[in-house]
Amino acid sequence: MFHDDNSVFIGFGVPNVFTMLPSKEEGKWDKFSAFMFFRKRSYVAKKIDRMQAGVYFDLRGLPSEATDAIRREMKVQEGRLTASCANANARVLSAAGFTCGGKSLKRVYRPSHLAALIWEHGLEYKGEKVSIRILLAGREVSDHFQAVWMKEFTSFCRMVEKTIKEKLVRNSHAAVSAPKFLTNQRVDGMSVERWTAAGELATVGISRPSWFGVWLGFILGQRPIFSAEPGMQITAPELQDALPAFPGKLDKVTKLKRYILFSRPVVWAIRRHLVRDIDQYKDVPRRAIVEMLRLSNGPTHEQAFVYNLVVTGSGIHIARLENRNGRDRKIINWLMAKHVLISGYDHDVRFAGEIWIYVVGGEYTVYLSPNSGTYRPGDERLKAIAAYLRDVFHVKVEIVPVS
């Protein structure tokens, strides 16, 4: 995402706003930063090589004159005391020739307000619509901006606190320790060079909910379904026959699930709001996909951040079985990540179960369980799908039997 020299990023941290442009040195960026309440002067950080977590608006396909105008205005605005970081960056955009819904952004001061305006109306450069892609690095969008709103609400108190602390440090000549980055294991991954070296690409899809689904997501947590089309056929004999939903003789509880709770009309109604559309991203390195998933705290099911998995003849589909966003409800997690909800009663389901990711000895490892009461895959099918995932993603796969 961040190796496109033609992109400009408007970033939203918690709650700081910043603008990033590609630096002249490949793989590095120039970043415009400002501060609230005239506390410090704005500045342009040169040749940075790491990105702050948050929400990014990726301005794509801009003409070179637009990029040059933003760079020029970043330089003009540098060294000024500003009312807020959002307003400083909004003024950079306005002075460079950008509008939002045909209107100037000069009077926008709050980060959440600036993000909401761009989200709803987009941007124009000299009257021409700008192509924008929204990227998320960190928490869900709703959780991210809830944190932003809280920071905005307490901004004056935090400013006073920071000022007092800085004054105490100056007066005491106390040494300030460097930030520490803690990790329990070294990870030999997340390398663009390693990802692309294999030359094996996939198409990744992310479901987009309806407006009703969006509002439900604010209450219950977002429930996207992720998919990958690896372009690699399933050839194992054990995986050629499709699995039926709710096979065999059904007890009373299973009949309740099949014919009422998760009947085809109910699943269709839920998916209508959960998967209104699908955003697709082509040419994603296969090896990168596993490393995009959230890491677990350990290798066991009790320590895992669990995803439900469905493999069909056309692709690999997963949904989070939990959110860990403070709004988790076990019954909601169970309902919104059911295998039949992920598959949508697809007639070509080859496997269904659970996966989670953990780093062992510096390598990403997929833990695979056949835990699915809906599709009930057998041991031979489990071994075959484990081999398939190893071949697709080039990662170690550990089988975890259902206890």
- For residue range 112-121, what is the model confidence (pLDDT) as tens digits? 788 878 888 8
Could you tell me what percent of the chain has a pLDDT over 90? 30
Summarised one tens digit per residue, pLDDT across range 277-317 is 887 877 788 888 888 888 898 999 888 989 999 999 999 99
pLDDT value at position 348?
94
Which of the given ranges, 249-258, 268-277, 383-392, has the highest pLDDT on average? 383-392
Summarised one tens digit per residue, pLDDT across range 187-227 is 544 455 555 555 688 888 888 888 788 777 766 667 788 99
User: Could you tell me if 193 and 285 are in contact, meaning their C-beta atoms sit under 8 angstroms apart?
Assistant: no
Angle made by CA atoms 21, 24, 28, in degrees to the nearest 5: 60
Q: Which H or E run includes 207?
A: strand 201-208
Q: How far is CA 392 from the centre of its chain?
A: 22
pLDDT value at position 29?
82
Instruction: Look at residue 185 and tell me whether its pLDDT is greater than 50.
Output: no
Q: What region, left, alpha or beta, does residue 47 occupy, with left being phi > 0 and alpha being psi -120 to 50 degrees? A: left
Residue 91's pLDDT band (cuts 50, 70, 90)? very high
Task: Write down the pTM of the prediction.
Answer: 0.60
DSSP H helical segments within 304-364, as ranges? 330-336, 339-343
